[in-house]
Amino acid sequence: MLRRFRDVIRLGPVKVGTADDRRGRTKHTAACTAPRCGFSAEYDTRSAAELAARTHRCPAR
């Protein structure tokens, strides 16, 4: 299933977006866009996703 993200922001190399999962619940995703990093995680709250984006230390650098 293709997700439609809304309210996407960029914090350094990490993008944070909001989408609904298959059950209709709102989830917030933080994903690093740096090559060869591979960091991504889903959170229940937007503030948790933004905190993860701010504190992410990319090992690909």
8-56 pLDDT, tens digit each: 999 999 999 999 988 989 999 999 999 999 999 999 999 999 999 999 9
Q: Which of 44, 38, 39, 42 is nearest to 3 (CA)?
A: 42
Please name the residue ranges forming H helices in 1-61. 46-55
CA dist 3 and 1 (Å) reads 6
Q: What residues does each domain of the chain span? A: 6-55
* Cα 9 to Cα 17: distance, rounded to the nearest angstrom: 7
CB 29 within 8 A of CB 19: yes
- pLDDT of 61 over the 80 cut: no
Taking the CB of residue 11, how many other CB atoms lie within 10 A of it?
16
Confidence at 1, pLDDT banded by 50, 70, 90? low
